[in-house]
Structure 1
């Protein structure tokens, strides 16, 4: 079933179109393919094919997912995938009626991202032992992550030519191949300079590499490996707050706003194409302000 679906020329031409026009990552394309695979599996059991689906069929599938306990966020992504797919088919005259027209995605309750307090971040950043080559590298990575709000994937894929310590800037190629320039900050610059002088060559052991933060095998580190490193230091620091792969990115944005940062500047630094994506952080900042008001204001 899966092999037949993946080789479906209609689906593959749709994915090729997304890849060529939007430069989407393999992970994003895989998510589209997975959504369409599961939908196709469902409708085939009903004796249907992708080109003959009605809005009633889509609604029945959404109800089926609801009964199976799928989260609204998952079904919302599915609806988005189907809208893109059937919009593509309509534009290319493969269907006459778009079954997704006027169909709304399930409403989402937007969760506030997990973040760390400034004290927790300070404790985390103080944990690595810079006399050890691996921990010297980790210290520089953590400082850079908190100073810039990079995605972990962006951090581990950085090359030497993408960072300028003379200018205090790092050049990021983010989602969809979009490029942005982000200032580094003095603390991160100092740790990166120290790492380049005392740690990186010990990791490489004379092996050539343009990766800024190589693994102990002189290769590009995986995001999963670095995430394990973060959790390792969090345990050592006694941090009990819930962590996610984007915890320091969230902390960067939240703390910047708490200290008066402009929302549009934070949007540019994070590489969000839509301001509404960044606005979630204003809720985090407001929650903190409300907390402080209650604690310190005489009529709080």
Structure 2
């Protein structure tokens, strides 16, 4: 069973261009499914478990997830992984029928992305300046870049030093499917990144061949989990612990850009969204800005008629 999963995961990376993070998520979900299948089919003496895993078994698995209080969004993701996996197994002639066929995903209300205010962003970005620790300049550069560019956390940690041009104030990043985009950054972010590169990065570096822009104390590329721990600590110091997630600065970037008058297409390009419908969710967060603009601009809204 593990070999079948590994074969499928290799297909996702090589043929479909999926990222390492997506591969890991699929691996975790399918490994959990495999564990359930082995218990479910242990008394059937089946030579090929996947081919004997039927629709009823799949429904039992989903019921098990529900009884274990998994969030609906998590169940939807795990079902999607199973659907992709079994579709691949059918194409490869490893199974005769797809046990997920005609099983509908639970309906999920699309949550609005969490954004914080401009003043709260300012407060968060100020936290690294309050310490003299060498890593603080690295941390300030990371936070400034996240807010300046709207990059995903995974895009930031995958940056190589050659991807950042402080003189031109722009960064090259690779989004989903390794799609490249060039994003401008504001001067303060470029300066913070330049200070980190010139003053701190070489002190963290252990191997001259390391290309990663952001390094941990071992001189290795900073991980997503490492960045999240750093961000959580600064959020705690700023009194924003309950409001900040790894993507908060990305969501805040999009919301503040739209509030500042940026058009939707430009924000779509900056965020690296393939479809503008993904970007449109941020328009729901700008209603207050639109209301103020309407009240200040429309001739019949400027004053209350008597």
Q: TM-score, normalised by structure 1?
A: 0.83
Quote the offset at 1:180 in angstroms. 1.6
**Which residue number corresponds to residue 85 of structure 1?**
85
Distance 1:95 1:221, change over 3 A: closer
CA contact (8 A) 2:172 2:180 kept: yes
SS at match of 1:22: coil
Distance 1:258 1:210, change over 3 A: same
Quote the offset at 1:205 in angstroms. 8.9
Q: Which moved more, 1:68-77 or 1:261-270?
A: 261-270
**Which residue number corresponds to residue 18 of structure 1?**
12
Structure 2 unaligned residues grouped into runs of 5+: none
Render the CA deviation track for 1:187-240: whole Å, top value 9, x for unaligned: 212222333344444544996753333334433222333333323333333335
Quote the offset at 1:292 in angstroms. 6.1
Distance 1:239 1:19, change over 3 A: closer
SS at match of 2:15: helix
CA contact (8 A) 1:18 1:24 kept: yes
Render the CA deviation track for 1:93-139: whole Å, top value 9, x for unaligned: 33443333332111112222222110011112223228653222222
CA contact (8 A) 1:151 1:246 kept: yes
Quote the offset at 1:143 in angstroms. 1.2
Distance 1:196 1:27, change over 3 A: closer
**Which residue number corresponds to residue 34 of structure 2?**
40
Quote the offset at 1:268 in angstroms. 2.3
Task: Tell me how far apart the structure 1 counterparts of residues 227 and 93 of structure 2 sit (CA, whole Å).
Answer: 46
**Which residue number corresponds to residue 160 of structure 1?**
161
CA contact (8 A) 2:40 2:57 kept: no
Quote the offset at 1:244 in angstroms. 0.8
Q: How many residues align?
A: 292
Establish whether residue 75 from structure 1 lines up as the match of residue 75 from structure 2.
yes
Render the CA deviation track for 1:142-184: whole Å, top value 9, x for unaligned: 1111000112232233222111223322111233322221111
Render the CA deviation track for 1:57-89: whole Å, top value 9, x for unaligned: 322322232223222111111221121112112
Q: TM-score, normalised by structure 2?
A: 0.81
Structure 1 unaligned residues grouped into runs of 5+: none
Task: Tell me how far apart the structure 2 counterparts of residues 11 and 240 of structure 1 sit (CA, whole Å).
Answer: 37
User: What is the aligned counterpart of 1:30 among 2, 24, 34?
Assistant: 24
**Which residue number corresponds to residue 60 of structure 2?**
60
SS at match of 2:172: strand
Distance 1:197 1:70, change over 3 A: closer
Distance 1:76 1:186, change over 3 A: same
Distance 1:258 1:13, change over 3 A: same
